[in-house]
Chain A
Amino acid sequence: MPLGDDALVLSHRLGEWAGNAPVLEEEVALANIALDLLGQARILLSMAGDEDELAYLREERAFRNLQLVEQPNGDFAHTIARQLYFSTYQRLLHEALAAGDTPFAPLAAKAVKEVAYHQDHAEQWTLRLGDGTRESRARMSRATEALWRYTGEMFQPLDGLDLDWAGIRDAWTRSVSGVLEAATLALPEGPQSGAWRAGAGRDGLHTESFGRMLAEMQHLHRSHPGASW
């Protein structure tokens, strides 16, 4: 469920870009990533129950997604930084899951192909923005700094998943710092947790904008109890 919520919430945020992207190719790319994530969310939530009931009828405190993925889109650099942090994590996680023998292994094996593309997309844009113009470098730098405090929670162990979390954390840090360095940016130095504590999102402790996001996402479904669509 936490992994399904991550994919669901980030997919929703990316869907907010539709019609607003800086260039037509990015309309296609962001929608493509959003669709992949929504597909993953649907499979994961269906493993836990009814996908629509879980997506539309739970309240904020019952969602288990990372605070990182619920962060508002901000500017394009902000969206790319969020995607870089998350896709790198998701790829390492899915690689580990695909190699294991949990019920998630087949799903992870398929998702890892999609996520590799998401990660490549985010890395390419990090390089372009970091090593582009003065303005884009400043924006990319601000974005990586601003989101840094939400990165620690990714490495909190998840119930039922016996993975090498410390190893995932090391590999994540190596990968992200390599990309940032190539993009002429520094790895942020602050603490990797902020509101509440690292791992708060997994306990249903979210940031304020999340409730508003859910209000928009759920209002139509909730207005017609029991209806099918």
Chain B
Amino acid sequence: MATAAARQAAGTAPEGAAEAVHTAALEAVFDAAVAADERIEPRDWMPDAYRATLVRQIAQHAHSEIIGMQPEANWITRAPSLRRKAILMAKVQDEAGHGLYLYGAAETLGASRDDLLDKLHTGRQKYSSIFNYPTLTWADVGAIGWLVDGAAITNQVPLCRCSYGPYARAMVRVCKEESFHQRQGYELLLALSRGTDAQHAMAQDAIDRWWWPSLMMFGPPDGESPHSAQSTAWKIKRHSNDELRQRFVDICVPQAESLGLALPDPDLRWNEERGHHDFGAIDWTEFWEVLKGNGPCNDERISRRRRAHEEGAWVREAAAAHARKHTPGAAAGGHPPATDATHPTDPTDPTTSAESADGTAPSGAPAPAPAGSGKATA
């Protein structure tokens, strides 16, 4: 819609108008579309800074999904029951799928997945600082589901209405699966909390370690968040960091009570006047240190990601070489024509509940498919 309107607006500019006049007309159309809550689509004109902001944000979101696989994958081989193992494997698989959707969304803005991954591997783009904390016990898997995925959902649900169409649509799919993971995390902690004393203690220790880092996921306080004003004006961001953080605390308090686990904050109490929970001060020094690369696992996470990529280089080269030999006119480079990762999942499969089948099925079919990914066997 914005495109048609933009063309019309541009067409009304006087003959031989300067480039600046032309851009101003396009900008006016873009601003009007954003103001009217219309979705901006890949072929629409958009300000360079809007494009750059979105590429940065979507890429970092994708990177977080990929790096976020590591702390949980750390427990796949040690999961204490086959049911839990199946749930955890499905979750980590979903995260790879979310990474695929999000790189796909970033590619609609002209970025390339290879380039974005390179920026991740060389530290030029970031990922969520929460994944720089280690998973030390099985209960951490539950804490990540309940708190980390819970915080992510609180952040991401408003993004389902973000002004950029492909990102908003990716978020709808991601949020559905994330809320499923969050319930599973809660349920895992509930089982531990109601289990033996040792299991209860394990759950409490995990909450003690993950609570504050989860609150940091909403970013710096509103006064110190440099990109917020512009992102809000562009309707990429809909609520401030502090608003979302407050919303999350208010959601978690009653859930912690029903779990029978304490939140590690002596200052946490209901404030009748505000209609919200007051909570203690966040250690922003720790936040900035982790962000700068000095968290407990920053080096480990990036090294492992880089190693997987480097050790996989010969596989990607083989796939590309094979494609060149067997696909007439196939372009060099691009991603290997991996076989479609999904296949019909039987919803009656007792290994996964119907919901989990629903959750895992779309993972391998990212939409929109990145150009040149060659999913030939879909």
B315 within 8 A of A: yes
**Alpha-carbon separation in the docked complex, A55 to B77 (Å):** 12
Cβ contact within 8 Å between A34 and B89: yes
Q: Which residues of A contact B83 (CB under 8 A)?
A: 42, 229
Cβ contact within 8 Å between A24 and B352: no
Cβ contact within 8 Å between B360 and A27: no
Cβ contact within 8 Å between A227 and B199: yes
Cβ contact within 8 Å between B196 and A227: yes
B318 within 8 A of A: yes
**Alpha-carbon separation in the docked complex, A16 to B341 (Å):** 18
Given contacts A31-B89, A124-B339, contact A39 B308 (CB under 8 A): no
B353 to chain A, nearest CB (A): 12
Q: Which residue of A lies closest to B113 (CB)?
A: A24
**Alpha-carbon separation in the docked complex, A74 to B336 (Å):** 21
Cβ contact within 8 Å between A22 and B86: no
Contact with A along B66-104 (1 / 0, CB 8 A): 100110010011111111111001101100110110010
Cβ contact within 8 Å between A29 and B339: yes
**Alpha-carbon separation in the docked complex, A121 to B341 (Å):** 9
Cβ contact within 8 Å between B351 and A39: yes
One of A59-67, A97-105, A218-226 at the interface: A218-226
A210 within 8 A of B: no
Q: Which residue of B lies closest to A110 (CB)?
A: B346
Given contacts A24-B100, A55-B82, A131-B325, contact A15 B318 (CB under 8 A): no
Q: Which residues of A contact B77 (CB under 8 A)?
A: 12, 15-16, 216-217
**Alpha-carbon separation in the docked complex, A71 to B319 (Å):** 25
Restricting to A5-36, which residues have a CB under 8 Å from any CB of B?
8, 12, 15-16, 18-29, 31-32, 34-35
Cβ contact within 8 Å between B315 and A76: yes
Q: Which residues of B contact A43 (CB under 8 A)?
A: 350-351
Q: How many residues from A make CB contacts under 8 Å with B? A: 59
Restricting to A63-90, which residues have a CB under 8 Å from any CB of B?
75-76
B313 to chain A, nearest CB (A): 8
Cβ contact within 8 Å between B351 and A217: no
Given contacts A12-B77, A220-B78, A220-B138, contact A38 B318 (CB under 8 A): no
B292 within 8 A of A: no
B contact residues vs A (CB 8 Å cutoff): 66, 69-70, 73, 76-86, 89-90, 92-93, 96-97, 99-100, 103, 138, 188, 191-192, 195-196, 198-199, 304, 307-309, 311-319, 321-322, 325-326, 335-336, 338-339, 341-344, 346, 349-352, 360, 363-364, 373, 377
Given contacts A24-B103, A39-B86, 13 further A-B contacts (CB under 8 A): A22-B313, A23-B312, A25-B336, A28-B341, A28-B363, A31-B90, A35-B86, A35-B93, A75-B311, A129-B315, A132-B319, A216-B78, A220-B78
**A-B pairs with lowest CB-CB distance, top 5:** A22-B312, A132-B318, A39-B351, A136-B318, A25-B338
A contact residues vs B (CB 8 Å cutoff): 8, 12, 15-16, 18-29, 31-32, 34-35, 38-39, 41-43, 45, 51-52, 55-56, 75-76, 110, 113-114, 117, 120-121, 124-125, 127-129, 131-133, 135-136, 139, 216-217, 219-221, 224, 226-229
